[in-house]
Chains A and B, each alone.
Chain A
Amino acid sequence: MKTLAQIVSWTALAVVVLAPILYLAGRLELAPMKLWLNAATALWFIATPLWMERGEV
């Protein structure tokens, strides 16, 4: 479960990084970029508390 949550978290973070880069490169429009960003944000905040211990980072 913890491993799955970690995979989801890091995938979400990769999307947060990649979506604006793809937008800058002209490969993604603004509206879908925001959608990806919002979805990845939601996933990050759902998955990360499942594995990140208090005081970690």
Chain B
Amino acid sequence: MIAHVHDNNINYIKTKTGLLSWFVTKDHKRINMMFLISVLIFFITGGIYALLFRLELWTPGTHPLITPDTYNHYFTMHGVIMVFLVVVPGIPSALGNFVLPIQVGAKDLALPKINLTSLYLYWIGGILAIVSLIAGNADSGWTFYAPYSISKNPAVLWMLTAAFFLGFSSILTGLNFIVTVHKMRAPGMTWFRLPLFVWALYATAIMQIFATPVLAITLLLLLIENFFHIGIFDPAMGGDPVLMQHFFWFYSHPAVYIIVVPAFGITSEIIAAFSKKEIFGYKFVAFSSIGITLIGFLVWGHHMFVSGQSEVANTVFSFLTFFTAIPSAIKVFNWTATLYKGSISLQTPMLYGLQILFNFTIGGLTGIILSILSLDVHLHDTYFVVSHFHYVAFGTTIIAFIAGIHYWWPKMTGKMYNEVWGRIASVIVFFGFNITFFPQLIMGSQGSPRRYYHYLPQYQIYHQISTVGVVILALGLVIALVNLLISLRMGATAPQNPWGAHTLEWEAAESPPVLFNFKETPIVTHGPYAFATEKT
């Protein structure tokens, strides 16, 4: 019944040539690589904004070149780009797209045209963000709180629209992943033989589908409020600004799990492969992602403890939030236990993987304290919170993203990067990241508010250490990126399974894979971390 003849004997990069064939492709691997390039470009852009405002923060007073309005614009752009264009889509669309179908043993995602649509929507969102830049200075913060966001600033309106499109890109990716996991698994691939990366992406997809639409309606209502002043969020017209916060955080709390859960999945893959061990407590780890997803829908109010929300509501939200901590903590214990009596190799992906454990421990611990009601009053809207979420969104998610790029680089590109420079970069990144964000914990608990252009001189030392840290961090990231790019030209040819792992992409697909991933449909006979069957 196949109408066209596709050559399944050459790798996906070489099957069809010409730029146009990429832009209209239905191949999940090509779509992934286009997402990857796009996400990296936006990551660099968002990072430059951070460098700029960290420069302003070197001194507590005014800056000759950066005014308060410009500063406010910089942190808004940094936030919007990093959240909506990098960490939310990042791992699912720019790694999951490539890996998930192969890990379940399928020829492609279930809905390839929907996948391409998701990419187009992402690009439209990105273009609208650029239009926003041309239209003016969006300065509402990525959280778009009303009534400040109900302004006549066209740049804010374009940003709201950009986020709207990016939301639908996310929904379609999640939808595609769920259908694929349910309907496209190869023979023998039972649910409990699925790699933990797939479980993580599945849990994430549930959140993408059920939470993101609430963001869509929030953004739409904000746009409508800006144009028609109906009086839903704007108190001047009878609306309630706290209602906007409820709408916003109903999405944005699950969103932070959309951001971090895929990173957990990558961590499992890497810890297993580079310890040559089955993940300790596989089933628990698999179910914990689903558990976090479900509880994650019930805790949005913990972002609003000082908003004037009722004490009863605050108590309930605090109580439930503590329950999200337990599955996450146990995952860390499980990963640590996996190392026990393993055969541990400190290759580049593993160096990043171990960093994740370090950073997430701090990220998790600093999150739990924020659930303690009496302490959150003091810590809310300070640099302590900024540091907490960077330990998770950067220290866990971005590091996992980089780890995953290195881990799957041989598979995606057919090339090996230089291992020495890979390791050097990862060490620099580790120190740069922690030097940047640890001082912010101190500054925050000592009372320094966030989103501040101007600050008390007593905080200057922490700001300066942080700024030095971010320069070191940027250096490490640049080295990592250059190392990867050089490998495309000069890297050694990658073997099919350089890490000796046991998931399908390593055992049954070439590096890079052929067009339909496998020469013939794999029959699965063992679990994803079947190191026990290896013999010396």
A and B are interacting partners: no
Interface residues of A (CB under 8 A from B): none
Interface residues of B (CB under 8 A from A): none
